[in-house]
A and B are shown apart, each in its own frame.
Chain A
């Protein structure tokens, strides 16, 4: 099993509903976020091209945050999801520094927090909060090992890219282009 997410940059309008859905679902403290929206503008007016991306932890296959964690609090769980065990985390910040995507943040309670692909919802057969809330239905979530999952289906027919693959992290967040 290998959970992954594909996000259609052609359909995303950057409304930030995914961000709010995540903050609500996961009780993210005010002023922090586990996912965010990036808007890239290329060119000079009037020849402008825009790409909107909803970003979060890339749940890397080769996760530097898991490698550098001195206590084993950062770990990979079923389906390749990278999680933090709160009572094992000492808040040293090594994982935050090790992430080329800056996807982790120090929770005010002391431990380090990040996107979990809403594993608590996925276990119940639901979709992650961001995917469920997306009004343009531009996000696809599922198991890459299952050829019929929504994410596998869409990656078969669309061109995609990952973010900073040259960092060697083997990211599992796919952006359809």
Chain B
């Protein structure tokens, strides 16, 4: 039997009795960042494929919510900082080894891009929109002509943004649950499926909805595959990672993870979307909302459970 106690009464706030330095702000931001990446990716992809008219919602409607969710995400990120007035220090340096630095700079690129994309498609929402000033009209005309270039930058940077939301966690070897490179593709997939769900929610065209339901099913299957792979990797790894996996395989996070993320967020939406493709009447709002909910829960559960996992000491 072994017992370890800290006898000097270490009780550092947010560290003891177990680490909880990242609260709701970080997972919320990671969800919104992933969702934004998903929506922008589809907009960029179908623009590059010259299918803007066929997938009007994905290219011209859904991206209008991206600036908003990015702004909310950035605000929540700011709330997480404990030295808030110094946030600009992020932009005085580029640190290639730090995922957070990557994230800060990618957002610096994606956020203005999303505003530009929204601006050049504003007439889809407000047909009578008038830019009023000549310079703005000219600017919009110029940017509209560069749409393909914009789409390429947006597509690539949205992939970096989506992957980064996972890499942010996986770069920490001190928290064994996070220390798996599968989190990068898993969070990217989760963001893409959330993006597809938003298009499903907003689209009024049956054809577009069918295509996005298919896309969503495909991505969720990939996600399930990645989750199985993640646990296989953990269980075949060192004791600390076996313990980390146990948090979800009988430990305190078992029920929330398998019920909220896997069953409600993945399996039921797949089932409902397949039913819909088979011509059953399923209100699209149900699977789409469940996918968004599962994606949000995935961020929260991985974030909180990861902070509970630690090295043997």
Q: Which residues of A contact B (CB under 8 A)?
A: 14, 16, 19, 31-33, 35-44, 52, 64, 67-73, 87-94, 96-100, 102, 104-106, 109-112, 163-164, 166-168
Interface flag for B172 (CB, 8 Å)? yes
| B311 & A100 in contact (Cβ 8 Å cutoff) | yes
| B8 & A92 in contact (Cβ 8 Å cutoff) | no
Interface flag for B313 (CB, 8 Å)? yes
A91 to B, closest residue via Cβ: B82
Interface flag for B130 (CB, 8 Å)? no
Not counting A72-B95, A90-B87, A90-B90, a sample of 10 additional A-B residue pairs whose C-beta atoms are within 8 angstroms of each other reads A31-B13, A41-B4, A64-B174, A92-B100, A93-B82, A97-B175, A97-B307, A98-B173, A100-B173, A110-B86
A31 CA / B101 CA spacing, docked (Å)? 31
Chain A residues lying within 8 Å of B313, measured Cβ to Cβ, are 163-164
| B98 & A32 in contact (Cβ 8 Å cutoff) | no
Out of A33, A73, A166, name the residue touching B10 (CB < 8 Å). Answer: A33
B interface, size bucket = 35 or more
Q: For the complex formed, measure the closest distance between the CB of A164 and the CB atoms of chain B, giving whole angstroms.
A: 5
Q: For the complex formed, measure the closest distance between the CB of B201 and the CB atoms of chain A, giving whole angstroms.
A: 33
| A91 & B173 in contact (Cβ 8 Å cutoff) | no
Interface flag for B263 (CB, 8 Å)? no
| A39 & B5 in contact (Cβ 8 Å cutoff) | yes
| B14 & A106 in contact (Cβ 8 Å cutoff) | yes
Chain A residues lying within 8 Å of B1, measured Cβ to Cβ, are 42-44
Interface string of B226-252 (1 = CB under 8 A from A): 000000000000100000000000000
Chain A residues lying within 8 Å of B122, measured Cβ to Cβ, are none
Most buried by A among B89, B307, B312: B89
Out of A14, A40, A164, name the residue touching B2 (CB < 8 Å). Answer: A40
Chain A residues lying within 8 Å of B104, measured Cβ to Cβ, are 70
Main secondary structure of the interface of B (DSSP, over half): loop
Quick one: which of B2-16 are within 8 Å of A by CB? 2-16
Interface flag for B84 (CB, 8 Å)? yes
Out of A33, A88, A91, A97, name the residue touching B84 (CB < 8 Å). Answer: A91
B92 to A, closest residue via Cβ: A71
Q: For the complex formed, measure the closest distance between the CB of A134 and the CB atoms of chain B, giving whole angstroms.
A: 13
A166 CA / B87 CA spacing, docked (Å)? 34
A93 CA / B12 CA spacing, docked (Å)? 14
| A97 & B98 in contact (Cβ 8 Å cutoff) | no
Asked if A100 meets B2 with Cβ closer than 8 Å, knowing A14-B7, A38-B7, A111-B83, the reply is no
Out of A71, A93, A99, name the residue touching B22 (CB < 8 Å). Answer: A93
| B13 & A106 in contact (Cβ 8 Å cutoff) | yes
Chain A residues lying within 8 Å of B22, measured Cβ to Cβ, are 93, 97
Quick one: which of B39-87 are within 8 Å of A by CB? 80-84, 86-87
A43 CA / B310 CA spacing, docked (Å)? 23
Chain B residues lying within 8 Å of A37, measured Cβ to Cβ, are 6-8
A89 CA / B89 CA spacing, docked (Å)? 8
Chain A residues lying within 8 Å of B6, measured Cβ to Cβ, are 36-39
Chain B residues lying within 8 Å of A52, measured Cβ to Cβ, are 7
A121 CA / B78 CA spacing, docked (Å)? 36
Q: For the complex formed, measure the closest distance between the CB of A135 and the CB atoms of chain B, giving whole angstroms.
A: 15
A52 CA / B21 CA spacing, docked (Å)? 28
Chain B residues lying within 8 Å of A68, measured Cβ to Cβ, are 97-100, 171-172
Among all A-B residue pairs, the 9 with the closest Cβ atoms: A91-B82, A110-B83, A91-B83, A36-B10, A70-B100, A105-B12, A100-B174, A37-B8, A70-B101
